[in-house]
Amino acid sequence: MEDREGQGSAEVTQEAKQRVFGERLPLAEHFARMLTEHGVRRGLIGPREVGRLWERHLLNSAVIAELLTPRSGVLDVGSGAGLPGIPLAIARPDITVTLLEPMARRVAWLQEVVAELALTVEVVRGRAEEGPVRERLAGQDVVIARAVAPMERLTAWCLPLARPGGRLLAMKGASASEELARDRVAIERAGGARQEVLSCGGGVLEVPTNVVVVERAVDVSSRPVSTRRRSGKRRTRKDR
């Protein structure tokens, strides 16, 4: 997971929770309990995160709802524990949320959460760069990713899943502007048009959520970009 530097750990008030989730706050509290009771044991969150779930995870995720237009179709890439997709689905019942996750054990968790909270959310197993996934899920209004990869790779994987004129929202830390400047050329090559860094939740969080926003070009005439995942050495992974 990418460095989440700069994220505050102050105690979150009930007023802040109510402001973000409104009458659906009980669902968010239920999700928080599920993460507290099962998250560490199932490898979804680290032990240190239990005491700061609201500030660093639930509210941090949900506040980006302010960037979503009504009834948007939203794809959460690499959803993991359900962040940011589950908090967004709770805070904004008008949007259509799909959770994309490659690991079977995490997919099982996401399906349990969706059933337990009775959310209208689809869970799909796969990776953003896979052909069958793109055929099934392309055309999203918004593609969201949290702590997945640097922008150079993230745009190559995720922009093809957005409709022309759609957006990629990449949740980043304090170095969001520097990363955007560094990878701007690669982002344009992947089909990115307008690019900017926005802050969300300034009136709720001690440290607002930084989001790199990349709009997919309406006329995508850029050359193909490799979407293969690179690593230092070949390794095998047993999916639990």
Q: Which DSSP letter does residue 224 get?
A: P
Question: Tokens representing 83?
Answer: 């962040």
* 224 assigned to some structural domain: no
Which residues carry a binding-site annotation for S-adenosyl-L-methionine? 78, 83, 128-129, 146
* 182 assigned to some structural domain: yes
* 79 assigned to some structural domain: yes
* 233 assigned to some structural domain: no
Residue 146 sits in a domain of what CATH number? 3.40.50.150
Torsion sign over Cα 8, 13, 15, 18: positive
Overall domain count for the chain = 1
Cα separation values, 196 from 167, 174, 212, 213, 215, Å: 11, 14, 6, 5, 9
pLDDT tens for the 240 residues of the chain, in order: 344 433 433 478 899 999 999 999 999 999 999 999 999 999 999 999 999 999 999 999 999 999 999 999 999 999 999 999 999 999 999 999 999 999 999 999 999 999 999 999 999 999 999 999 999 999 999 999 997 799 999 999 999 999 999 999 999 999 999 999 999 999 999 999 999 999 999 989 999 999 999 999 998 654 444 444 544 443 333 444
Which residues carry a binding-site annotation? 78, 83, 128-129, 146
Q: Which domain holds residue 135?
A: 14-216
Among residues 143, 203, 209, 207, which one has the least CA distance to residue 176?
Answer: 209
